[in-house]
Amino acid sequence: MSGKTGMEHLINVVNKLQDAFTRLGVQLNVDLPQIAVVGGQSAGKSSVLENFVGRDFLPRGSGIVTRRPLILQLIHAKLEYAEFLHKPGRKYSDFNEVRIEIVADTDRVTGKNKGISSLPINLRVYSPNVLNLTLIDLPGMTKIPIGDQPPDIEIQIRKMILDYIKRDSCLILAVTPANTDLANSDALQIAKEVDPKGFRTIGVITKLDLMDQGTDAREILENKLLPLRRGYVGVINRSQKDLEGGKDIQLQIKAERDFFLHHPAYRHMCDQMGTLYLQKTLNAQLTSHIRNTLPSLRDKLQKQLIKLEKSLGDFKNYAPDDKTVKTKALLQMIQNFSLEFEKALEGSRSSEINTIELCGGAKINSLFHERFPFEIVKMEFDENELRKEIAIAICNIHGIRIGLFTPDLAFDAIVKKQISRLKDPCLKCIDLVIAELLNIIHYSTEKMSRYPVLRDAVERIISSQVSKAEQLCKDQIILYIDCQLSYMNTNHEDFIGFANAENQAEKSLGGTRRTPGNQVIRKGYMTIHNSSVIRGAKDFWFVLSSESLAWFKDDSEKEIQYILPLNRIKLRDVESKFISRRHTFALFYPNGTNVYKDNKQLELSCTSLDEEDTWKASLLRAGVYPKKEKTESSNEIDKIDKELVDPQLKRQVEVIRNLVDSYMDIINKATKDLVPKVITHMVLNTTKKFISEELLLHVYSSENQDNLMEESPEEVRRREEQMQMYQACKQAIDIIGECSMSFSSQSSIYGPVKPPIAAKKASYRLSTHIQQVSRPAPPPPPGSEN
C-alpha cells in the first residue's frame, strides 16, 4: 500500500502539529499544509469523504448540513475507531455516534438555527481501509438563506472558504457534479480567485452516472476543458435511493469500478478514475506538498520563536512565588523608570524618538521660550489705551492744580499695574510645566503596567512630591513679583532716565519719532481658508516682519503671493468648521476696509493650538493686537481723550510712556530669564533628584512588597498565552526536526523516494501527469546530511 512509503509519515507530522496547536488553544501565524474540500450544496462532498473512510459518519439532510469546518485526519491503523479532539480519551467504534456528536457539537457553537461558525471540529479516524490523509470539509456554498439564517449567509460562507483556501500551503479539492455546467461551477470559480493558474487545485467530478443519455464528461476528465495542472478525477457516489436502502460503501466502490470499466467514454482511463485512485492521488500529492512546504514552515516557526523569546525575556522560567525574583524585578523597574524619566526630560539619542510632536523636555523648553513669552506679550496694553490711562493718572495726581512738571507717581502707578499683571503668566507657566511633567512621569511608568499596584504607588508618590515642589515654586515666583513691586530701580544701567525720556518725547511730538527697521519676526506655514481667494484651503509660506505679513507659494520664497501691511490691522478668533481640528484666527481692519481683494478678513489656521499661540505672540510683537469690545470705562477714556488737547499734558504722557516702556523692558527680560530658572531648579531638578535618590526608599516604606509586585489579570493572561505559544512553537519545531532526521535516515537506507503514482509519458490527459509537472525537489543523496 502507498501508505507505507518512506514519505508517509509526513502527513502524521502535520497531524501532530495541528493537534499541538489545537490542544494548547493557540493560533500561531503559520499555515499548515492541508487539503480543503469545497463545492456547492449537494455536490457530493460528504459522499466523497465517506467513501474515503468506508463508513457513514457525516450528517445529511436538506440545506446547509456542514455548518462548521471539519478537520478530518485519516490514519492507517489495524483497528477501526474515531476520536474527537474536544473529547480526549473517548474512542468511537460506532460511526452513527460520530454523526450524532458532530451535530451536537455544531449546535453547541452555532445553535439550531442553521447558523455557521469558523471554529473547526477536529475528527481523527483510524482504519485499516484508509490511507494517511488530512482534509478539511467546508460548508457548501449557497445563495439563498433558509430558516433563521442571516441574509448575508452567502457572504459569510464565502469568506470562511476564502480564509482557508487563500493560503499557499492549502491544496483545493474542488468538487463539481457532472450534470451541471463546468463553466458555472461554484467550486472552480472560487478556486480560480485564489489559484488562477491552477497549481493548487484538484478537480473532482461527481454524479457521472446521472448525466443525460448520450452525454459524458470525457473532455473534462481528460483535462482538455478548463484544464488544471493537477487534473480531474471522476467518482461515483451512492444515490439517494442507495442511501435510504443502506447500501454498503464497499459495494458502491466495486460498482464504481465496474462503471468505469464498462463505460465506453471512460474505459480507457479507468485506472485513473474512482475513489481509491482519488485517495491515492491525494495522499501522494499532499505528501509531496508537505515535503515542499516544511522548510518554509520551519523558518516561520523559528522566527516566531525568536520573537516570543524576546517578548517573554526572563519570564520563560518565571516562578510567581519566588520572592527573590520579585525583589529583582522591583529594583529593575525603579531603575528603568529613573532612566526613562531622565531620557524623556533631558533628551535621548536612542532610535525611539517621537517624530510627530514635541514631548518631554522639548515640550517644556517650548513652554519656556515660546509659550511663556507669548503670555507676557499678550497681556500688554494697546498703545493708545496705555497712553489714555497714563493721561488719566496724571490728571488725577494733579487734581485741581495745573501740572507744570511730570509727576513720578504716575510712572509708579502704571509700572506697578504692569508688574502685577506678570503674576498670572508666571503662574500659568508653572501650571503648564507641571502638567507636562506629570505626562512625562506617566509615560515613563508604561513599562510598569505589568504591575499596576507598583505603577499606581510610584505615580502617587512622585505626584505628591511634585505638588510640594509646585507650591514652593509658586511661592517663590509670587515673592519675586512682590520684590519687583516693592522697589523701582530707576538707576538700572538699561533704564533711559528722565532726560532721555523727555528728548524722545519731544522728537515724537515733533514728528521725528524713530521707527524700528522692518525686522523679520517669524516664518512658517499657515493655511488660508478664504473661499474667494482660493478654491478650498491651501498652505502657504508666511514671513512676518515688524511692518508687513507676506506669503509665498513655498519656503523657497521665490513666488510671492501678496504683502499685507500691518498698520491698523487687528486680530480675532474664528470658530473652526464642523469636524475640523485646525485652529483658526482672522486679520481685519476695524473700519471694515477690505484686507485682501474683496475679503473683509483674512482667515488663517494652524495645525495645533501651540502653533497658533506662537503666531499670535509674533503678531503682537509686530503690533497686531486682538480686537477688544468697548466697555463703559473705555467710552469714558475716549471722552477724556477728546478733552485732552493740552500740549503740556501730551508731552507728560509721552515722557511717562517712554519711562514705562523702558522699565518694563527691563522687568520683562528679567522675568523671561528668571522664571524658567526657578521652575527648573525648584521643580524639575528636585523631582529628578528625588526619583534617583529617594523614590525606592519611599516605595519600600509605603507599600507591602508582595502587593506591589502583583501582576494584573490581563498581564497574567497575556504571559500565559505567550508561554503557550512559545511551548507550541518549540514542540512544532521539535516535531519537524524529528521528521527531517527520520527522512534523512530513510533516504540514506533506501535511496531517493519514488513518487507513489507514476504517470505515463503520453498520458497528458490524466491527473497523475500533475505529479511530474510540479517537480518536487528530490531528497538529498545518501550521506549528504549528517
- pLDDT value at residue 409: 75
Is the CB of residue 252 less than 8 Å from the CB of residue 237? yes
Q: What domains can you pick out in the chain, each with its CATH number?
A: 2-300 (3.40.50.300), 520-626 (2.30.29.30)
Three cell numbers at 358? 514635541
> Is residue 218 classed as helix, strand or coil in its secondary structure?
helix
Tell me how many degrees the CA angle 136-137-138 measures, rounded to the nearest 5.
Answer: 110
Distance separating alpha carbons of residues 387 and 401, to the nearest angstrom: 21
* Among 776, 764, 723, CA closest to 231: 764
Distance separating alpha carbons of residues 304 and 296, to the nearest angstrom: 12
Tell me how many degrees the CA angle 647-648-650 measures, rounded to the nearest 5.
Answer: 60
Distance separating alpha carbons of residues 253 and 48, to the nearest angstrom: 11
Distance separating alpha carbons of residues 103 and 58, to the nearest angstrom: 9
What digits encode the pLDDT tens for the residues 509-524? 554 444 445 688 888 8
What digits encode the pLDDT tens for the residues 372-424? 887 887 765 555 666 677 676 767 766 666 555 556 677 777 788 888 888 99
What amino acid occupies position 316?
K
Distance separating alpha carbons of residues 373 and 371, to the nearest angstrom: 6
- Given CA atoms 126, 129, 133, 136 in this order, what sign does their dihedral have? negative
Which residues in 533-648 belong to E strands, given as ranges?
538-545, 548-552, 560-565, 570-574, 583-588, 601-606, 625-626
Distance separating alpha carbons of residues 244 and 209, to the nearest angstrom: 18
> Is residue 206 classed as helix, strand or coil in its secondary structure?
strand
Ranking 84-98, 542-556, 601-615 by mean pLDDT, the lowest is 601-615
Burial tier of 591 (Cβ tally within 10 Å: 0-12, 13-18, 19+): exposed
Three cell numbers at 702? 509605603
Is the CB of residue 447 less than 8 Å from the CB of residue 337? yes
DSSP letters, 306-362, are: HHHHHHHGGGGG--TT-HHHHHHHHHHHHHHHHHHHHHHHH---SS----SS--THH
Q: How confident is the model at residue 546 (pLDDT cuts 50, 70, 90)?
A: confident
Proportion of the chain above pLDDT 90, given as a percent: 10
Q: How far is CA 313 from CA 309, 328, 719, 727, in A?
A: 6, 14, 11, 14
Three cell numbers at 331? 529594583
Three cell numbers at 680? 527648573
**Over the chain, what is the mean pLDDT?**
76
What digits encode the pLDDT tens for the residues 199-247? 889 999 998 888 888 888 888 898 888 888 888 999 998 877 877 787 8
Ranking 251-265, 412-426, 629-643, 720-734 by mean pLDDT, the lowest is 629-643
